[in-house]
Structure 1
Amino acid sequence: MCASDDTAARIDELQFALGEGPRWEVVRTGRATIIPNLLEDSNARWPIFGEAVSRLGVGALFVFPLILGAAVVGVADMYRHTAGNFTSAQTETARTLAAVAAAQAVMRATVAAGREWAMPTAIAPEMRREVQQATGMILVQLNTTATEALIRLKSHAFTANQTLEEVARNVVTRQLDFRDIPE
């Protein structure tokens, strides 16, 4: 829904685009994932994400589930530039903030989904509507499945060293046509 700064936005983008990283573990398990030394831990668990995030100068990641009822409705990613753990008080504060944020996140997502012309930004990507639109356009351009179209979109973003949103925007504005890209 939002990011506190460019580094946080990039961490979010990498996990979304690559489909790997601690957030996916948190969504799957419903339990926080604490990585006090990202350089030691992330490459084994999430090799592509670990390699990419190491270039951002991030030393530690703390990912907490946003739980509403029995459902994980999102995650709160936090980072620090140096390696190190949260204190028990900081961990408890993060858990409390995540619990409070869950209902707000659901309300914000519901409102954003109802806005026809919402304009997402890098630090507030909303529902990544352009990614969904671009996936549909690529699906038609290549006469393929939605899964394959999204994989091609993510792959192109990664190899072009662009964010997924940048590539999606180029597809939606018809500056990029996947029929013109060699396989």
Structure 2
Amino acid sequence: MDGRRRERLWRLLSERAPGGSGWAGVVVALVVAELGVEGAAITVRTASRVQDLAAASDDWTAALEELQYTVGEGPGVEAFETGGPVLVEDLRADHDRWPGLTDSALPSGVAAAFAFPMQAGAIRLGTLSLYRRQTGELSADELADALVLADLATTALLTDSSGAEPASAEAHEGYYDDVNVATGMLATELRVSLEDALLRLRAHAFSNHLPLTEVARAIVLRQLRLDAPPD
């Protein structure tokens, strides 16, 4: 990894840090400013596909990350599973790769996506995702910067998790807490596994064109009931 490139990006990151918004939030803001993309997000992921949104540059980006969680596919999911970058310069051309994602994401205006795994040693922690409204690949310099920033994002995530400054209280709130609670409720009520409960939650959200978090919240508040399918 280019030491001078890393030093430059770390300096820029440190200069932005006094804003007090949490290191993860500072990283995604820097990504948008430096890499010519419209959106960036840091998402924590696990092998069982549980995830949480650590930081997003805006609501548009957060919605794209949530959509990947809802349909269970996309560049972020693939980057985490393979351990390598997933670079998609034209989502429309890759429709067959992730049909559930592209059918729902393209109307929002996204045209290209780039996802990078975040790792600490052999442990995979999540992904740094970048989104553009125009098609086109990352330049050689942008790609090199993105790889460094994915590494810095890992440090940011671990720093925020430890409670070190400048992390804010909001950085520790679980974006998908309602999804986790709703999944547990469904598993108990329908007497199915947590995996099956999450699958039904996702299916309902996707088929009704609703955010997964909105469906989960309705279940937690007992405003929505998903009955078991007939045998």
Which of 53, 73, 89 aligns to 1:20? It is 73
Counterpart of 1:2, as a letter, is: A
1:17-53 Cα distance to aligned partner (Å, 9 max, x none): 1111111211112111111111112x12111112111
CA radius of gyration, larger in: 2
What is the match of residue 198 of structure 2? 150
Q: CA deviation at 1:182?
A: 6.8
Which of 160, 168, 178 aligns to 2:216? It is 168
Q: CA deviation at 1:119?
A: 7.1
**Equivalences for residues 109-148 of structure 1 within 5 A:** 109=161, 126=174, 128-148=176-196
Distance in 2 of aligned mates of 1:119 and 1:142: 33
Q: CA deviation at 1:103?
A: 2.3
Counterpart of 2:135, as a letter, is: A
Which of 109, 121, 127 aligns to 1:69? It is 121
Which of 34, 50, 54 aligns to 2:87? It is 34
- Matched residue of 1:7: which SS? helix
Unaligned runs of 5+ in 2: 1-53, 164-168
- Matched residue of 1:83: which SS? coil
- Quick one: structure 1 residues 125 and 163, their matched pair in 2 at CA, closer, same or farther if it must change by over 3 Å? farther
TM-score normalised to structure 2 length: 0.68
Distance in 2 of aligned mates of 1:119 and 1:29: 30
Distance in 2 of aligned mates of 1:99 and 1:87: 19
**Count of residue correspondences:** 172
Distance in 1 of aligned mates of 2:197 and 2:179: 10
What is the match of residue 108 of structure 2? 56
Q: What stretches of structure 1 move > 4 A for 4+ residues in a row?
A: none
Distance in 2 of aligned mates of 1:107 and 1:138: 34
Identity %, equivalent residues: 35
- Matched residue of 1:20: which SS? coil
Q: Does 1:7 find its partner at 2:60?
A: yes
- Quick one: structure 1 residues 125 and 32, their matched pair in 2 at CA, closer, same or farther if it must change by over 3 Å? farther
What is the match of residue 154 of structure 2? 102
TM-score normalised to structure 1 length: 0.85
